[in-house]
Amino acid sequence: MFDYTLLGIILLGTFTKLFSSILTCSEGWNLHGSKCYKLDPEMRNFTNSKKFCENLNAEMIMPKTAEENSILSEIGKWFWIGLMDHDKTIALDWTWNDGSKLESKDRWSNGEPNNNDSPEECVISGPNGWADVPCTGIKTTACQTKPDIIADEDESVTLTCDVKYKENITKLFWTRSTDDTSLIVSEYAKGGNIILPSLVFEHVKWTDEGLYKCHVIFISGLTLTDETNLFINATNMLPCTCEYRRKLEYWGFKIIPNRTREELLQELKSELQKIKKELKVNKRQLSSSIRKRTSATDRRKSSKTMGLAGTAVICIVVGLVILIDLLSLVKFVKSTITFWNFKKIRQKAKDKKSKMRKKFDINKKKTQTSESSA
């Protein structure tokens, strides 16, 4: 009999591996399709709405595809979209905020665009489609951004760069940063150029984690930036938040395979000289240098508490020793005084006895003399 349980486990494992890359949105954002959206209920004009989204490191919603346009009703009603007609002298010259032109004309409400309240250069999304309105009006704001990507090590990950009309692009490149520190994009990543804009990692590593930005420069001089956060589940690595990890990442990407020892030494010459200078010790001040390198202030609260407790114990012990010494000293002084007093009394008794004996001897002699005379 066929074991359907075993088949289910195999299929589950297969699909888990295939779809282990997870798209996530920040708190307050909702995932629809492949993007994160946020609707802010505060009423603003078009310009302020655009600034609001930019302050969130996002952009105004731009439903360019039929799929993106189909989810507008799930996001809300009557909000700005990032589409403008910059020149009313040209019929239907609608341009997205990223500089690309509007291609589809079937998403407008019936009778729109009509430019009734001229100039109607901005666009809002309503229950029945789009409508052109004056940019000075006030509506709610809808922002969009790319979701964060969470992947496991050795997975295949693709970071997309949404560009069209490649013939109008003069330059396209990717940058990576972590904790506001710029890092080099791994040389093992494929693409990331005009021919293949997306960045592909066939076997992503924990050192590939960071904020990636796709920079696109057009012939007109317009520059666009597409951002994506990549997080890696490194189950075989302990978490490291120290500066040492940053140095590993930096030099890990700087070192090119198959370089000779001499080439690496030349590359690291300035860094090695800096380290050598830091480690150099002044022999004339050797003791102070040793103290400087072996002692450091511990500012932890627990250390301060332990230090205070230790100080208190030491003070109590020293106080007890001093008290015991004082009591012993007092006892010794008293014993000494008693001894000297006893010695004086004894000497006085001895002196008195000696005087009495002398007096007795004198009287005895006088008696003997008297008897002799008689």
8 belongs to a structural domain: no
Q: What are 335-347's pLDDT values in tens digits?
A: 888 888 887 888 8
Asked whether residue 140 falls in the same domain as residue 162, the answer is no
Asked whether residue 77 falls in the same domain as residue 159, the answer is no
60 belongs to a structural domain: yes
- Provide the domain limits for residue 238: 148-254
Asked whether residue 192 falls in the same domain as residue 237, the answer is yes
DSSP string, 44-82: E-HHHHHHHHHHTT-EE----SHHHHHTHHHH-SSEEEE
Asked whether residue 81 falls in the same domain as residue 172, the answer is no
The pLDDT confidence band at residue 371, using thresholds 50, 70 and 90, is low
Q: Residue 123 maps to which CATH number?
A: 3.10.100.10
Asked whether residue 130 falls in the same domain as residue 159, the answer is no
Q: Residue 211 maps to which CATH number?
A: 2.60.40.10
Please give the pLDDT value at position 236. 57
228 belongs to a structural domain: yes
Which strands sit side by side in the sheet containing 157-159, from one edge to the other?
157-159, 199-201, 190-191
Pick the closest to residue 230 from 146, 144, 162, 143 (CA basis). Answer: 146
Asked whether residue 138 falls in the same domain as residue 186, the answer is no
In angstroms, rounded to a whole number, what is the distance separating the alpha carbons of residues 35 and 162?
A: 12
Q: What are 91-135's pLDDT values in tens digits?
A: 667 888 877 788 888 889 998 888 888 788 999 999 889 999 999
Q: What are 221-251's pLDDT values in tens digits?
A: 888 888 888 888 866 555 555 566 556 666 6
Asked whether residue 157 falls in the same domain as residue 135, the answer is no
Asked whether residue 49 falls in the same domain as residue 107, the answer is yes
Please identify, among 254, 270, 301, the residue that sits at the C-terminal boundary of a domain. Answer: 254
55 belongs to a structural domain: yes
Q: Is 78 left (phi over 0), alpha (psi -120 to 50) or beta?
A: left
Q: Structurally, how many domains does the chain consist of?
A: 2
Judged by DSSP in three states, 133 sits in: strand
Say which residue the tokens 């910059």 belong to.
Answer: 86
The pLDDT confidence band at residue 172, using thresholds 50, 70 and 90, is very high
16 belongs to a structural domain: no
Please give the pLDDT value at position 7. 40
In this structure, are residues 216 and 224 in contact, taking their beta carbons and an 8 Å threshold? yes
Pick the closest to residue 218 from 185, 194, 190, 191 (CA basis). Answer: 194
Residue 78's contacts (CB-CB under 8 Å, 6 or more residues apart) are 124, 125, 126, 139, 140
Asked whether residue 156 falls in the same domain as residue 222, the answer is yes
Averaged pLDDT of the chain: 80
319 belongs to a structural domain: no
Please identify, among 254, 278, 304, the residue that sits at the C-terminal boundary of a domain. Answer: 254
Q: What are 299-308's pLDDT values in tens digits?
A: 677 777 888 8
Two tokens, residue 295: 């002692």
Asked whether residue 65 falls in the same domain as residue 164, the answer is no
Asked whether residue 163 falls in the same domain as residue 128, the answer is no
Percent of the chain predicted with pLDDT > 70: 79
Please give the pLDDT value at position 91. 60
For 107, 131, 194, 212, 297, the CA distances from 135, given in Å and listed in that order, are 19, 12, 35, 33, 60
20 belongs to a structural domain: no
135 belongs to a structural domain: yes
Q: Which residues of 160-196 are buried (b: 16+ CB within 10 A; e: fewer)?
A: bbbbeeeeebeebebbbeeeeeebebbeebebbeeee
Please identify, among 120, 145, 170, the residue that sits at the C-terminal boundary of a domain. Answer: 145
In angstroms, rounded to a whole number, what is the distance separating the alpha carbons of residues 239 and 359?
A: 106
Asked whether residue 186 falls in the same domain as residue 125, the answer is no
